[in-house]
């Protein structure tokens, strides 16, 4: 079974060294969206205008598969 790695950038950055075995890219996408939602809920008011947050999913060869990005800005 392929292994996927989930790297968080910006808010509480972390590099996934262990990864997770999942059946395919579609399963990795579902895990990424679930994981991103849970992480962003934990931000709990710390995310500020002008900041960006992202989650990158890579396969076991180090190839980027998915990139989820959230940005914010204050409107005038």
Tally the domains of the chain.
Answer: 1
What's the pTM? Answer: 0.83
Cα distances (angstroms) measured from residue 59 to each of 5, 22, 69: 6, 10, 18
Q: How many Cβ atoms sit within 10 Å of the Cβ of residue 45?
A: 5
Q: Judge whether 76 lies within some domain.
A: no
Percent of the chain past pLDDT 70, that is, above it, reads 96
Q: How many Cβ atoms sit within 10 Å of the Cβ of residue 19?
A: 14
Q: Is the confidence at residue 12, as pLDDT, over 70?
A: no
Q: Is the confidence at residue 57, as pLDDT, over 90?
A: yes
User: Range of 37's domain?
Assistant: 3-71
Q: How many Cβ atoms sit within 10 Å of the Cβ of residue 56?
A: 18
Model confidence at 11, pLDDT cuts 50, 70, 90, reads low
Which residues, listed in sequence order, are joined to residue 57 by a DSSP beta bridge? 6, 66
């Amino acid at each position: 079974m392929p292994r996927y790695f989930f790297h968080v950038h910006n808010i509480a950055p972390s590099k996934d060294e262990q990864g997770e075995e999942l059946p395919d890219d579609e399963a990795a996408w579902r895990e990424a969206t679930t994981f991103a939602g849970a992480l962003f809920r934990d931000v709990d008011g710390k995310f500020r205008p002008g900041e960006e947050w992202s989650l990158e999913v890579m396969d076991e060869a180090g190839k980027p598969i998915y990139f989820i990005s959230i940005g914010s800005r204050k409107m005038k």
